[in-house]
Each structure stands twice: as C-alpha cells, then as structure tokens.
Amino acid sequence: MLTGVLGYPVAHSRSPAMQNAAFEALGMAPDWRYLALPVPGDLFDETVRALPGSGYRGANVTIPHKLLALAIADDASDAARGAGAANTLTFAGDGSIHADNTDVGGLLDAIGEAPGSALVLGAGGAARAVIWTLREAGADVAIWNRTAERAAALAAELDVRAAATVEPERFEAVINTTSVGLVTTLSDESALAALGLEDRAAPSLVVDLVYRGGGAPTPLQHWANQANARFVDGLEVLVRQGARSFEIWTGKEPPLDVMREAARV
Ligand code: ATR
C-alpha cells in the first residue's frame, strides 16, 4: 500500500523519513511505502482523486492544502470539521475519501494533559486547530495576534477570548503558532519582542509549533528554559500527528520511538 504527503513544497518534510522508518520497524516495508507528493493547488483535486486507483491507502496533507483536503472529502471527523482543516485523508475501497485532523489529537498527545488555561499566539490556520483542540479539552483560551483584528475574528468564531496584550504569567501555557521562530536571522530578543514576550516570565508549559532543522532550539525554547518551564516542540507534535495517521491507515500501533528518532535526524 502507498501513502504520502501532499503539499507544495514538500521536499523539507520529515514525514517520509518518519513513516518509512515505522513501516521498516514493523516489517511492513517494502509493501507499505510513504512518498513526498509535491502538488500545486490547481492540481490538488485531480491528484487526490487519482490516488485510490493508484494503490494509495491514504495521504497526509500539509501547507497550503489543508482546507482543500477538508473540502474534497466525502465525510470528515469532528476534529477536521472543528479545526476547519484536514491533515489526513483515508481512501475506502469504493474510492470515497475520509478526512481527519490528527494535528488535534497529536497536540494533546504531545502535551499530555490539556492545561487549564492557555494563551495562543497567532491567528492563522495552525492557531485555529490549536484553539479548537484546547477549547474542546476544557481549557480557558485567549488569542493574541500581531494583527489584532484577526485575533478578534477568530476568537468570535471559536467562542474564546481575544487578548489585547501579551500577559503570559496569567496562563498555565503559552502556545506559539506563528512563524516567528522560523526566521533564523532574527535574534532571540527580536523574535521574543515580536511576540510581546520580552521581559516576561514563561508559564509552566511552553509549546512552539515551529521547529528548526536538527532540532536546534527556537527563541521560545530558550525563553522556556530560562524559567525552567516545560517545553514541547513542534517536532514532537509532528511525531504524534504522524503516529495517529499511521494508526488510522494501518490499524497497527505506531512505533513512537522509531518515528521520533527518524524525525529528529
Ligand atoms: P498558518 O496558517 O501556518 O498559521 P498564517 O495564516 O500565515 O499561517 O499565519 C501566520 C501567523 O504568524 C499569523 O498569526 C501572523 O500574524 P499576522 O496575522 O499579524 O500576520 C504571525 N506572524 C508572522 N510573522 C510574524 C511576526 N514577524 N511577528 C508577529 N507575528 C507574526
């Protein structure tokens, strides 16, 4: 059976290494394989509809296609509908398409237990999935975003609060969904300043969905370390969403340590 990741671009994705390592570890390779599938948006529908007939059991979907993936599905899980996006497609024998969002469960798996309260930084697609997840898990959620109108609109839509200022000490967790930590030319100070976190102490849990090559620390990781806060990085969330997708497609328990090791290379 074939599986893969649809995105544009996808060359940087850690998913092929991670999923193929899992297939190897469970003796499922080479029958099961996971490929990088670079597909531009205008070819997305046509490509996805061709996959079941080409031996595909399912596919992950990454930026910028997570909305298209939800739209093309015949049915969708509550998580995919709630997050407004899908990252996992599964093809049934009749060619019908089921959409799931394993980013949602993957985030909870990565952090263990949902915090009582959380400040989410950012108001894009990644923020939407995080906010929906935490809200469903019972957390009191506030959104802060550089462009305040986006935070207000998302807060109203998801029935959570918008925060006018960044006051991390008022929350149990801070979760960064912005792309700020990706910019390696920004100093830690400038990156933290862009998020209003400079001169602020970290709460007990800090999550940064961003991750850097080789697992190099992000500015938020340094910030968390200064306060001895627990830190969960984007690679752990990636591993956990991948593990859930693996289980959906294969019905087998994912070899987490193998997947983590392959993702972190
Ligand atoms: P995604 O769907 O992956 O979340 P996105 O919709 O482009 O991506 O959102 C990126 C997020 O990072 C936004 O919240 C963006 O803030 P704006 O809405 O104000 O653009 C945030 N972001 C990106 N660069 C930033 C920076 N230099 N400082 C602060 N926030 C930034």
Taking the chain (265 residues) in runs of 10, the rounded mean pLDDT of each run is 96 95 98 98 97 97 93 97 95 95 95 96 93 96 98 96 97 96 88 96 96 85 97 96 98 98 91
pLDDT score for 212: 82
CA–centroid distance, 152 to ligand 1, in Å, is 14
pLDDT score for 132: 95
Pocket flag, ligand 1, residue 197 (CB < 6 Å):
no
Nearest atom (ligand 1) to Cα of 123: 14
Q: Which of 3, 12, 13, 10 is nearest to 239 (CA)?
A: 13
pLDDT score for 216: 86
Q: Which of 185, 190, 205 is nearest to 120 (CA)?
A: 205
Q: Would you give the DSSP letter of residue 138?
A: T
Note if the bond before 9 is cis, omega within 30 degrees.
yes
- Per the CB < 8 A criterion, the answer to whether 124 and 139 are in contact is no
- 22 torsion bin: left (phi>0), alpha (psi -120 to 50), beta (else): alpha
For ligand 1, atom 9: residue with the closest CA: 124
Token representation of residue 43? 């070819």
Cα 15 to Cα 10: distance, rounded to the nearest angstrom: 9
Cα four-point dihedral sign 18, 21, 25, 26: positive
Pocket flag, ligand 1, residue 196 (CB < 6 Å):
no
Which pTM value belongs to this model? 0.93
Q: Which residue has the tokens 């850097």?
A: 212
Cα 238 to Cα 107: distance, rounded to the nearest angstrom: 8
Helix pair angle (256-263, 234-250), 10° resolution: 130
- Per the CB < 8 A criterion, the answer to whether 127 and 152 are in contact is no
Q: Which of 82, 93, 46 is nearest to 65 (CA)?
A: 46
pLDDT score for 207: 97
For ligand 1, atom 30: residue with the closest CA: 146
Note if the bond before 254 is cis, omega within 30 degrees.
no
Pocket flag, ligand 1, residue 212 (CB < 6 Å):
no
Q: CA angle 72-76-77, nearest 5°?
A: 155
Q: Would you give the DSSP letter of residue 167?
A: -
242 residue type, one letter = G
Q: Which of 65, 66, 135, 260 is catalytic?
A: 66
189: buried, middle or exposed (CB in 10 Å: 19+, 13-18, 0-12)?
A: exposed
pLDDT score for 185: 85
Q: Are strands 161-162 and 2-7 parallel, antiparallel or unpaired?
A: unpaired
pLDDT score for 26: 98
Pocket flag, ligand 1, residue 87 (CB < 6 Å):
no
pLDDT score for 215: 74
- Per the CB < 8 A criterion, the answer to whether 245 and 102 are in contact is yes
Pocket flag, ligand 1, residue 121 (CB < 6 Å):
no
Residue ranges of alpha helices (H) inside 26-147 are: 44-50, 66-72, 78-83, 102-111, 125-136
CA–centroid distance, 186 to ligand 1, in Å, is 15
pLDDT score for 183: 79
Known catalytic membership, residue 66: yes
